[in-house]
Amino acid sequence: MERKIRVAVVGASGRMGREVVKTVLTEPDFELAAGIDRSSEGIDLGRLVGLEECGVQIQNDLELALVESKADVMVDFTTPHTVVFNTSLAIRHGVRPVIGTTGFTPQDIEMLDKQCRDKEIGGLIAPNFSIGAILMMRFAAQAAKYFPHLEIIEYHGDQKLDAPSGTAVKTAEMISEIREEIRQGNQQEEETIEGSRGGYYNGFRIHSVRLPGIFAQQEVIMAAHGQSLKIRHDSYDRAAYMPGVAIGIRKVMTYTGLVYGFEHFID
């Protein structure tokens, strides 16, 4: 058998991080190299995720952990405040980033792509690792050619830090590659309550709903005279993202440069 891919997980004691740790510990071609988080230092990661003790404890110094563990890949599910720093640090140490945390600007992505190319390693930033969500984005982009009047509504839990979601931004970008720019709606419209019409993106609107109990959902509503089309995806559990994360970890070992969007890995 080929050498296992050594994976460091940042944000390891978070909700997504724990799911990633479980995946890394159970996939036969992965080896857990390190787990990093601000809290839970010293706790065995196997125990943390309800599996057998694995001998790898949570550390809180990312740089030290990356260097000492000789990780091949760093998976990051932390916060928009810290993820750019973490990604850049990993690349500097030759560790391939697989990033699920959202909140990157186009400038960040450009800068990190250059860093990856200089180091001759691969990297992946995927605002959504769920294959169903990728198909939703792709179908929405295809349909936008025929239904250019559209709005995006995304729903997440009330503790989410960024808005709109990375998935909504990615959907908007994919739609904009296909849909000619038109400004929708009445050009004289006035908001009597600020923000009522949502965020403006290339002529259409994005609405972010934040409520307790909601996991992750998005719909793209398109309409023309006499008809409407709704393309919707619902995620109910973090397990939905793990097949995508595993594919990302394997793929990132095989190319140079930063790929933005998991859709590039789906035919």
160 annotated active-site: yes
* 223 Cβ contact list (under 8 Å, min separation 6): 147, 149, 150, 229
* 196 Cβ contact list (under 8 Å, min separation 6): none
100 forms part of the interface with ligand NAP (CB under 6 A): yes
Spatial separation of the C-alpha atoms in residues 127 and 244, rounded to whole Å: 11
Tell me whether residue 169 or residue 222 sits nearer to ligand NAP (CB atom): 169
Q: Taking CB positions, which residue lies at the least distance from ligand NAP?
A: 14
Judged by CB under 6 A, the chain residues 68 through 97 that form the site for ligand NAP are 77-80, 82
Residue-wise over 79-115: b if at least 16 C-beta within 10 A, else e? beebbbebbebbbeeebbbbbbbbbbeeeebebbbeb
10 forms part of the interface with ligand NAP (CB under 6 A): yes
119 annotated active-site: no
Spatial separation of the C-alpha atoms in residues 58 and 38, rounded to whole Å: 9
The residue behind tokens 């790898």 is 56
CA neighbor of 209 nearest in space, from 219, 222, 200: 219
Judged by CB under 6 A, the chain residues 222 through 261 that form the site for ligand NAP are 241
Helix axes 242-251, 131-144, angle to 10 degrees: 90
Tell me whether residue 11 or residue 148 sits nearer to ligand NAP (CB atom): 11
134 forms part of the interface with ligand NAP (CB under 6 A): no
**Catalytic residue from among 4, 119, 149, 160:** 160
Shortest CB 44 distance to ligand NAP, Å: 16
Find out whether 189 and 196 touch, Cβ atoms under 8 Å. Answer: no
Query: Can you tell me which of 14, 35, 46, 248 binds ligand NAP, judged by CB under 6 A?
Result: 14
101 forms part of the interface with ligand NAP (CB under 6 A): yes
Q: Residues binding ligand NAP: what is the number (CB under 6 A)? A: 26
Task: With contacts defined by CB under 6 A, name the span among 51-59, 120-128, 140-148, 176-184 that binds ligand NAP.
Answer: 120-128
Residues that bind ligand NAP (CB under 6 A): 10-11, 13-17, 36-39, 62, 77-80, 82, 100-102, 126-130, 241
Residues forming the active site: 156, 160
